[in-house]
Amino acid sequence: MADFNSDFWHWYIAILTIISILACVWLIRWMTSGFEHSDEVESTGHVWDGDLTELNNPLPRWWLGLFYITLAFGGFYLLLYPGLGTFGGLLGWTSKGAYEQEVEKVEAEVGPLFEGYLQTPILDLIKDENAIKVGERLYLNYCATCHGSDARGARGFPNLRDTDWQWGGDPTSIKTTLLNGRIAAMPAWEAALGGESGVNEVTQYLLRLSNRATIDELADKGKAKYDIFCVACHGADGKGNPALGAPNLTDDVWLYGGSITRIGESLIKGRNGQMPAFGEFLGEAKVHLLTAYIYGLSQEN
């Protein structure tokens, strides 16, 4: 509500809400006026099955009282809590404040536990069954959406269970990735490679690097283009550079797919990947434990 860019919306909501409550009060009084509680009640004139008559009975007083209590409660609530435009309520309650209180409460209870884990080396944490269980819960809450509940990833989201790491798979590199995030950019090369023919040639050479069947004539031409445009990031041997986030092209692991079509698509359009930073959100202690869990996954094979 505080994000309104015009006072009009504040007054629009506040006035409409107040009018609606008052209108409900008026409607109840109007609908119930003129009734007297007595033994004789007039009929509405609707009769079914010969003698089943609809009577114009007034509401019981307790039922009518509930309507008024509900409306009074609504008005009292709007005085205490947000609801009337940008008016924050007399109690000053906010969803952000409530969230922060919950976080503080939880941190007070579990903070010492995570701080204890922070003082333990990652190589020791992966042997701690209880620590790994906590790390797994952190992973399922914050990482599974992209990397899958089994951590095997999907197209564009790396498999965390193998030993192929774009930015390095040692504990320090993984922790750095979690704390600071990563931004990877593969530029579009179609124009620089000379169009579709050049893309096909480099694609064939990349297939050769990963020991797959190729059209040798095209692959030879592709190598010449690779040495000009690709070698700076992926290296002369194609094994990549974790410092730049340049993947190894000599294995059979392809983040965006390793078919001829997918490789060509990467060369033509480029790729842009981003791993969000979790350091500020989770804190170093939780990231430390999460690192241990993720690193442990790649050591199971």
Distance, first Cα to last Cα, the chain: 52
Answer whether residue 87 is part of any domain. Answer: no
What is the rounded CA–CA span in Å between residue 157 and residue 274?
10
Answer whether residue 94 is part of any domain. Answer: no
Q: Which residues pair with 183 in a beta bridge?
A: 274
How confident is the model over 88-117, as pLDDT tens digits?
899 999 999 999 999 889 888 888 888 889
190 shares a domain with 270: yes
Residue 122 near residue 288, CB atoms below 8 Å: yes
285 shares a domain with 144: yes
What is the rounded CA–CA span in Å between residue 285 and residue 219?
49
For residue 85, the model assigns a pLDDT of: 86
Confidence class for position 31, pLDDT limits 50, 70, 90: confident
What is the rounded CA–CA span in Å between residue 280 and residue 242?
24
162 shares a domain with 142: yes
55 phi/psi in degrees, rounded to 5? -100, 150
Structure tokens that stand for 184 in this block:
């990877």
Q: How many CB atoms lie within 10 A of CB 263?
A: 21
Q: Which of 16-30, 56-70, 71-85, 149-163 has the lowest mean pLDDT?
A: 56-70
Answer whether residue 98 is part of any domain. Answer: no
- Looking at the structure of the chain, the number of domains it has is 3
235 shares a domain with 293: no
Q: Residue count of the chain, please give it.
A: 301
Rounded to the nearest integer, the mean pLDDT of the chain is 91
240 shares a domain with 137: no
284 shares a domain with 257: no
Q: Give the domain CATH number at 125.
A: 1.10.760.10
Answer whether residue 261 is part of any domain. Answer: yes
Q: Who has greater pLDDT, 124 or 46?
A: 124
Residue 228 near residue 194, CB atoms below 8 Å: no
Distances (CA, A) of 158 to 130, 147, 177, 247, 300: 26, 7, 13, 11, 17
For residue 74, the model assigns a pLDDT of: 94
283 shares a domain with 146: yes
Answer whether residue 258 is part of any domain. Answer: yes
Helix ranges, the chain (H) = 7-32, 61-80, 95-118, 122-125, 129-142, 144-147, 171-180, 196-209, 216-229, 231-234, 260-269, 279-282, 284-298
For residue 245, the model assigns a pLDDT of: 93
165 shares a domain with 287: yes
Structure tokens that stand for 301 in this block:
């094979």
Q: Which residues pair with 273 in a beta bridge?
A: 184
Q: How many CB atoms lie within 10 A of CB 295?
A: 22
How confident is the model over 121-134, as pLDDT tens digits?
999 999 999 999 99
Answer whether residue 200 is part of any domain. Answer: yes
225 shares a domain with 192: yes
For residue 151, the model assigns a pLDDT of: 95
Confidence class for position 53, pLDDT limits 50, 70, 90: confident
71 shares a domain with 29: yes
Residue 205 above 90 pLDDT? Answer: yes
How confident is the model over 263-281, as pLDDT tens digits?
999 999 999 999 999 999 9
Query: DSSP class of residue 58?
Result: P
270 shares a domain with 282: no
Confidence class for position 36, pLDDT limits 50, 70, 90: low
Residue 34 above 70 pLDDT? Answer: no
214 shares a domain with 287: no
In this structure, the strands spanning 271-275 and 182-186 are: antiparallel
Answer whether residue 2 is part of any domain. Answer: no
| Domain enclosing residue 107, as ranges | 103-181+276-298
Answer whether residue 92 is part of any domain. Answer: no
